[in-house]
Chain A
Amino acid sequence: MSIQPVPTSSRTTRTELAELNALESESIHIIREVIAEFDRPALLFSGGKDSIVMLHLAIKAVRPAILPFPIVHIDTGHNFPEAIEYRDRTVEKLGIQLVVGSVQEALDTGRIAQSTDPGGSRNRLQTPVLLDVIRKNKFGAVFGGARRDEERARAKERVYSFRDEFGQWDPKNQRPEVWNLYNGFINSGQHIRVFPLSNWTELDIWRYIAAQKLEIPSIYFAHEREVFERDGMYMAVSPFLQPEPHETAQTMSVRFRTVGDMTSTAAVPSKAATIEEVVAEIGATRTSERGQSRADDRASEAAMEDRKREGYF
């Protein structure tokens, strides 16, 4: 949830690097445990910064072999074109298998009903689609890029998060997780969500992207975009979301702090055009990542917990 702005000058780069190295090794350890213990893992990939880091770590974990499992994208149909383009280019470049779960297709076939959420957000609709993909492909372990610092319900979740036959998370009855001994035993139909980035903060992710020179979608950097203000957040004008008559669109310099569905991810005013500038901006911010840019978390006090219980990411 929280990162205090730390003046970069007062801490040595060597300490920061040692911290990133320790986080990197911890994540690789977790990924390797899963590869060794599960027949059919998969990695959730949205084209967002966390899943980009996670994929990079998975590739390091198996090097020089190639990734022995597919990546999964739950496509809401309301994506940022830059994220989709990044996804397809990554799959092509790495020669890995991509499994897509389509919210639009599930709507078309009547598997799920049109969203009644404000702004037509398809955020919640991703859950049944994700669970269908997991069931159909018999994935026993699914890597997710969630971090504990993002949100207080996530702060409670285990690295190996057990899901029952219905994909549900039971936060009051989690398996004890002692030392680094992860319990991956499940029965058929159940699965484990694995969060290798549990102990990373948002700032760690950005520092790592900078240190490893990872390519990320262009919308993470400042650019001119037509936005309008809604509930104190700047939403991008898109074919999926238009301003209401009382709302005015304006063009301003923004970037995205998170990348999700276009209808639920807000832009932040920013001039940070390079990775170094983004790291500095994140280091100095007084607003949380999800609070500043995710409309989906504002539904209620326990919006994230409620969605996670149902099987959300």
Chain B
Amino acid sequence: MELLRIATAGSVDDGKSTLIGRLLFDSKAIEDDVLSAAESVSRRQSNEYLNLALLTDGLRAEREQGITIDVAYRYFGTAQRKFILADTPGHVQYTRNMVTGASTADVALIIVDARNGVVEQSLRHAVIAALLGIRHVVVCINKMDLVDFSEEVFATIKRQFETFLDDLKVDCAHFVPVSALIGDNVVEPSERMPWYTDGPLLRHLEQLEIGRTPADDALRLPVQYVIRPLKGEYHDYRGYAGSIRSGVVRVGQQIGILPQGKTSRITAIETPDGEADEAAWPTAVTVRIKDDIDISRGDLICAADGVPRVSKSFDATVCWMSESKDLTQGSMLRIKHTTRTGRAMITALHSRIDVATLSAETGCNALKLNEIGRVSIKTSLPIVYDDYTVNRVTGSFILIDEATNETVAAGMIGKPAFGNFDSED
């Protein structure tokens, strides 16, 4: 099975880090010395159990406060597959770090405290996961030991969450009742929940089919830079270096070059392994083309059929991530989209998305930290894009504050897959 990228999500104290610790511990992905270090700290803190969160909370401040502040990446494997796991924070304050961890994930692992059921933060994370185009959601209903392993509690929360995920148009949802603390249904099946027969969490993750990958989509190759070796034998060499962000490139293939609106043919492909006739997502390549066309960083090589759009204005959904400034109509920012960097102006703030009801609240004047909104953007340079729901690379961008250089927004071009945002047109 192919590599699976997982991002965890859930409210604070739902036991995310403990669940990850349990997953790593029970799948024997923790080395002996790392484990004994955690055990001795746990003993010093007089914990009744080994504090599994000590295995993932890597910062001093996190261990002091017993919370996760920033995303931690873990790498582990079983005989079936290799995993990259982004353990993301639950606090509303750190939602932007959750966005960081989830932006590259295939699966969102949402943890819910069985005692509290679905809370606003679980919904917020589900919305962000859906916005980011994560098609697979696994909901772990945790702390089942504290609700007497009740099937009814599980069923109620599942029903509630399922309705919400349906509204979010997430079609691949899976629910597991777990106790991260004592290890039920994480790696080993639970003897205390015989009513649950779908198997433990790890087995589901091992068997999960990602489905469609970017290799199946149309060719998108943003040019990172032009290689012109200034040495004898390569006098006329002009190679366009970039990563294939979707699709396949072949020698002889007819390509489009945007925003120039020119066409040409691929004459040579250099991959990390040397010359090749063909290369596919996610390979970093250098291509050469038949015609002498002015191409530089920020331009896009694409399939001649099925070309993206080119425009200096578009609508998008943004997650606002600045603590110090709000997003308002008229905000001037830098934009980075594929390999192109320019300036952007927010020409309209249409609405703020209410994460509980998924409705668009119109008439708001500003987006604050961690709020999600619908905007119109005008850019200084033409942007070559697809809708985010079609292509996660050509549909995404970040906004950067010109004064502080901070990354202040994650943006997705076009409309979200869920909700009704027709009124803004």
- Identify the closest chain B residue to A22 (Cβ): B282
Say whether chain A's binding surface is mostly helix, strand, loop, or mixed: loop
Contact of A61 among B56, B284, B406 (CB under 8 A): B284
A302 pairs with B60, CB closer than 8 A: yes
Shortest beta-carbon distance, A264 to chain B, in Å?
A: 16
Contact of B225 among A15, A25, A36, A152 (CB under 8 A): A36
- Report the bound CA distance from A233 to B24 in whole Å: 26
Given A176-B410, A183-B405, CB of A26 within 8 Å of CB of B27? no
Shortest beta-carbon distance, B96 to chain A, in Å?
A: 5
A2 pairs with B29, CB closer than 8 A: yes
A36 pairs with B224, CB closer than 8 A: yes
A63 pairs with B407, CB closer than 8 A: no
Query: In chain A between 1 and 54, which residues have their CB closer than 8 angstroms to a CB of chain B?
Result: 1-7, 10-11, 15, 18-19, 21-22, 24-26, 28-29, 32-33, 35-36
| B218 contacts A by Cβ under 8 Å | no
Residues of B within 8 A of A166 (CB): none
Given A2-B31, A179-B103, A179-B393, CB of A32 within 8 Å of CB of B73? no
| A177 contacts B by Cβ under 8 Å | yes
Given A152-B56, A178-B103, CB of A286 within 8 Å of CB of B32? yes
Shortest beta-carbon distance, A283 to chain B, in Å?
A: 10
Contact of A2 among B1, B34, B297, B321 (CB under 8 A): B34
B100 pairs with A177, CB closer than 8 A: yes
Binding stretch for chain B, among A69-77, A218-226, A244-252, A287-295? A287-295
Shortest beta-carbon distance, B200 to chain A, in Å?
A: 16
Band of interface residues on B: 35 or more
- Report the bound CA distance from A216 to B227 in whole Å: 29
Q: Scoring B residues 371 to 396 as 1 if CB is less than 8 Å from chain A, else 0, what string do you get?
A: 00000000000000000000011001
A2 pairs with B76, CB closer than 8 A: yes
| B229 contacts A by Cβ under 8 Å | yes
A156 pairs with B31, CB closer than 8 A: no
Query: In chain A between 164 and 198, which residues have their CB closer than 8 angstroms to a CB of chain B?
Result: 171-172, 174-181, 183, 185-187, 198
Residues of A within 8 A of B182 (CB): none
B30 pairs with A29, CB closer than 8 A: no
- Identify the closest chain B residue to A32 (Cβ): B224
- Report the bound CA distance from A6 to B27 in whole Å: 11
Residues of B within 8 A of A1 (CB): 30-31, 34, 74-75
| A96 contacts B by Cβ under 8 Å | no
Residues of A within 8 A of B397 (CB): 181
Contact of A63 among B63, B286, B400 (CB under 8 A): B286
Contact of A185 among B56, B71, B224, B400 (CB under 8 A): B400
| B253 contacts A by Cβ under 8 Å | no
Residues of B within 8 A of A261 (CB): none
| B97 contacts A by Cβ under 8 Å | yes
A32 pairs with B284, CB closer than 8 A: yes
A155 pairs with B100, CB closer than 8 A: no
- Report the bound CA distance from A29 to B223 in whole Å: 11
* Minimum-distance CB pairs A-B, first 3: A152-B58, A291-B33, A65-B229
Show 13 residue pairs from A and B whose CB-CB distance is below 8 angstroms, ordered by the A residue.
Answer: A18-B2, A29-B224, A36-B339, A148-B75, A156-B72, A172-B61, A174-B70, A176-B398, A187-B405, A287-B33, A291-B31, A301-B63, A306-B60
Residues of B within 8 A of A (CB): 1-3, 24, 27-34, 37, 41, 55-61, 63, 69-79, 82, 84, 96-97, 99-100, 103-104, 224-225, 227-231, 234, 237, 239, 241-243, 270, 272-273, 282-284, 286, 297, 321, 334, 336-337, 339, 392-393, 396-398, 400, 405-407, 410
